[in-house]
Amino acid sequence: MNNRRKIKYVDRNIQGSLMVLLITLEVIMILVALIYIYTSFNQIFEDSIYQIHKSNQEPFYQQFLIVIFWVVIIMSVINFIALIIANAFWLKHINKILTFLTKTMSAIKNLSLKFPSVENVPQHDLTKQLILWQNNEIERAKTTNKLISALPQTIDELDEKSLTESLSKLQQQLRFASFKN
């Protein structure tokens, strides 16, 4: 069986950027933590190397554990703050898409071709497809309007062949077309 794990992105642009930023933060944080641990351990060792015979000295492992404890606490706090910030960016991005979709669906529900502006809408597959559909619907409405206005104004001007031809074109135009990518 060839079941490979694939990363599925909801939105490649923002998720990729957030992932790169968070990984960069982690690498920098680990490097800083390692440097801090190295200098702290070195200092603990230097401070106690000449005081080996003192009895009231704290053991090495306790001092080392205290340094590691503070490093872990500080890294955890930084990670927590970074995740809160990343979540805020993600929610803002998703809310822009959902607001656009909600306004568009409301316009569709009201049978209106006055769709919301696409200026601040993030580039997402769903919004791209919806914008493509909107443009197709607007073109279809314009073509339908032209076909209707080409119909004769009075009954006297009717001839069966042109009426059948015009109605056939209108019928084709009014059918729901599938999405074209």
pTM over 0.75: no
Model confidence at 111: pLDDT above 80: no
pLDDT, one tens digit per residue, over 21-76 is 999 999 999 999 999 999 999 988 887 777 666 666 677 788 899 999 999 999 99
Q: Do 128 and 166 reside in the same domain of the chain?
A: yes
Are the C-beta atoms of residues 66 and 74 closer than 8 Å to each other? Answer: no
Model confidence at 180: pLDDT above 60: no
Q: Select from 43, 77, 92 the last residue of a domain.
A: 92
Q: What is the mean pLDDT of residues 102-113?
A: 82
How many structural domains is the chain composed of?
2
Transcribe 66-93 into DSSP letters.
HHHHHHHHHHHHHHHHHHHHHHHHHHHH
Contact residues for 74 (Cβ-Cβ < 8 A; gap 6+): 33
Q: Do 180 and 128 reside in the same domain of the chain?
A: yes
- Structural domain includes residue 169: yes
- Structural domain includes residue 72: yes
Give the amino acid at 54.
K
- Structural domain includes residue 1: no
Domain that holds residue 142: 117-181
pLDDT, one tens digit per residue, over 115-145 is 777 777 777 777 888 888 888 888 888 887 8
Q: pLDDT higher for 7 or 77?
A: 77
CA 168 to chain centre: 44
Q: Do 83 and 145 reside in the same domain of the chain?
A: no
pLDDT band at 181 (very low <50, low <70, confident <90, very high): very low
pLDDT, one tens digit per residue, over 12-23 is 777 888 889 999
Q: End-to-end CA distance of the chain: give it in Å, rounded.
A: 33
Q: Do 127 and 72 reside in the same domain of the chain?
A: no
Are the C-beta atoms of residues 13 and 122 closer than 8 Å to each other? Answer: yes
